[in-house]
Amino acid sequence: MEAFCGSPFWDSNLSIHTDNPDLTPCFQNTILAWIPSIYLWSALPFYLFYLKHNKRGYIVLSVLSRFKTLFGVLLWCVSWADLFYSFHELLQNRTPPPVYFITPLIVGITVLLATLLIQYERLRGVQSSGVLIIFWFLSVLCAVGPFRSKIITTTTQDHVNERFRFTTFYIYFALIIVELILSCFKEKPPFFSPVNTDPNPCPELTSGFLSRLTFWWFTSMAILGYKRPLEDKDLWSLNEDDTSKVIVQRLSKEWDKEKEKCKQKEDVTYMKKSNHMLNHVGNGPEEAEVLIRGKKNNRKPSFLKALLRTFGQYFLIGSFFKLIQDLLSFVNPQLLSVLISFIKNKDAPAWWGFLIAALMFVCAVLQTLMLHQHFQYCFVTGMRLRTGITGVIYRKSLVITNSAKRSSTVGEIVNLMSVDAQRFMDLVTFLNMLWSAPLQIFLALYFLWQALGPSVLAGVAVMVLLIPFNAAIAMKTRTFQVEQMRYKDSRIKLMNEILGGIKVLKLYAWEPSFSQKVMEIRKNELRVLKKSAYLNSLSTFAWISAPFLVALTTFSVYVSVNEKNILDAEKAFVSLSLFNILKFPLNMLPQVISNIAQTSVSLKRIQQFLSHDELDPNCVETEMIAPGNAISVTNAMFSWGKELKPSLKDLFPPQYKSVDPQWCFGCHCWPCWLWEVFSGVCSPG
């Protein structure tokens, strides 16, 4: 590396163990100069894929876009000016190190790529680019150290040897600051974007990258709510992707695909089989054609797969933010350990403390930003899930057959759209804890092992003992959930029947008896709910006390095992911070397991309802008929279901051309006669 740079790559006496720290020129010209380039080239394939599949029209070349392009071209010229200056030195028999050729070349190509991306984003309708904002921010951040170093060099030395490179760097630093500032402003809406006629649209879609990252677009609503109570007219309209028109259509399409895959299809394959007829004189190999008929595995369509294909990609973005937040949460305990060590060391430079405090602050800010982005994606996914499930169930209820209505009552359908759909929304908010909680627990135990050694196994034993206990509670809760939903379905079914026949009920004064029936079902439902509440309380108590029990057990074992084990401030505070991180996953994991158990019951209920037979729209033909009878029935057979015996058959054979009016109530119309036949007042023969 010294041959590549012409100077040492790292010097701890220059960079760490000094009151006036500085970085070596080699470190500045390699690591700091290459970090923004590595980021942009790594993100380029994914960003181009995103731009290719998301076109919103193109944005007219504005003044802002022209200035960003101009400064990008200037940055490219400045970067390659250093490259040409290195070739000039080579011609002057002054051989510069290879880093002065490689770094300007890489930086120049990267800056040119960023300039081309500005124009390509404009053609794809991107108003604010988060990728380029991060790139310019990293460029400024990595240039602060070299900028300070060059100022110190200029002030301490009377004569600067590399005056040209110093000048180009100052110009480069000023230009990237200008580019960062310009990138924070958003462009105008795309030229051919659809006109939004909504009088009160949501500003989220048109907000910039920084506004979305900090939720600044919501500030106007918060200020308005502070000034006066909010009204319906103050609320923004839903984004198009959040409307039921779009969500239900997407989910229905995926569910139809899943049903098509699982339909029983008869595969007919022809296989030619050759066999030798050994005992047949004069004949050689004989070909026999065999027809094989087979059915595919009768697999039921999975509603879960349809949900994953519809909402999975959007939810994974929130999972990515959750992963970053989990990793950042373990940085502060390590920085806290370094800070305590710094306080113990009286000879340490003062700037160490300022740097550690600044890093802890930045880490906490990043952790907060990532966590709230994760919750934003999870809440929106939950809202879309509830909307899609409710819409699909409602559409299905309009087309199910009469036999399906016998098994799925109105009360059950109402429960599916209200209670069961809400289960999915409640689960999605903390669904990532299913993998995040084990990850956090594993990392916390790993760092605790580094601090306290094998004593951590005592705390692990406490957690392991709580797992089967919580699993048994979750299984019992699932059983109670099934029983509760059964009682709720019967109660709502009875209430619908009561409300439907309220006139008869009032006429015969049957209110007390029916009220008693409803109360009996309600008492059984409350009994199950009370048992579930007791189990949830027991589970919550066990897991809330888990972090305290784990910490107490670990510290007790650590101190009592060996007299040399001293629980000093560094070990105590760092371990407590790690135990505090353990508290959230340990508390949320049982709740997530319980919610999964409840949601699995709801999923089976919804999937069973959506798998019911539907009315065949091709059974009815719509055509013009001659004036005469409104309804004519010939050789008809009526039944409530395919598997049931027909209630009426051979209705109106050819010999019966008319009906005696004396059989009915004196009305000659066909609809009244059909009603009387079905109700049992008269019969057709």
- Quick one: pLDDT band at residue 196, thresholds 50, 70, 90? low
| Digit-coded pLDDT (tens) for 206-250 | 888 999 999 999 999 999 999 999 988 888 988 888 899 999 999
Least confident residue range of 369-378, 449-458, 518-527, 654-663: 654-663
- Give the mean pLDDT of the chain: 82
Helix axis angle, 99-123 to 63-91, nearest 10°: 160
What pLDDT is attached to residue 36? Answer: 94
CA distance 314 to 335: 34
Chain centroid to Cα 351, Å, comes to 41
- Quick one: pLDDT band at residue 134, thresholds 50, 70, 90? very high
pLDDT above 70 as % of the chain: 87
Mean pLDDT of 562-566: 82
pLDDT above 90 as % of the chain: 31
151, two tokens: 């100022």
- The stretches of 157-275 forming alpha helices (DSSP H) are 163-183, 209-214, 219-227, 244-261
What pLDDT is attached to residue 655? Answer: 47
CA distance 602 to 609: 11
21, two tokens: 């720290």
Q: Which residues pair with 289 in a beta bridge?
A: 272
CA distance 213 to 531: 44
- Quick one: pLDDT band at residue 582, thresholds 50, 70, 90? confident
pLDDT of 127 higher than 90: no
Residue with tokens 């008492």: 523
Q: Which residues pair with 287 in a beta bridge?
A: 274
pTM, full prediction: 0.77
Q: Are 617 and 633 in contact (CB under 8 A)?
A: no
Least confident residue range of 86-95, 472-481, 543-552, 648-657: 648-657
Amino acid at 137: F
CA distance 228 to 249: 38
526, two tokens: 């409350």
CA-based nearest residue to 299, from 265, 262, 259, 267: 262
Least confident residue range of 157-161, 174-178, 438-442: 157-161
Chain centroid to Cα 580, Å, comes to 26
Backbone angles phi, psi at 128, to 5 degrees: -145, 125
| Digit-coded pLDDT (tens) for 27-67 | 888 999 999 999 999 999 999 998 888 877 788 888 999 99
> Read out DSSP for 327-339?
HHTTHHHHHHHHH
| Digit-coded pLDDT (tens) for 378-422 | 999 999 999 999 999 999 988 888 777 777 778 788 888 988 898
CA distance 135 to 111: 10
pLDDT of 278 higher than 50: no
Least confident residue range of 259-273, 278-292, 374-388, 436-450: 278-292
| Digit-coded pLDDT (tens) for 456-498 | 888 888 877 877 777 788 778 878 878 888 888 888 888 888 8
CA-based nearest residue to 128, from 198, 30, 216: 216
Backbone angles phi, psi at 285, to 5 degrees: -60, 135
What pLDDT is attached to residue 570? Answer: 86
Length of the chain: 685
What pLDDT is attached to residue 300? Answer: 80
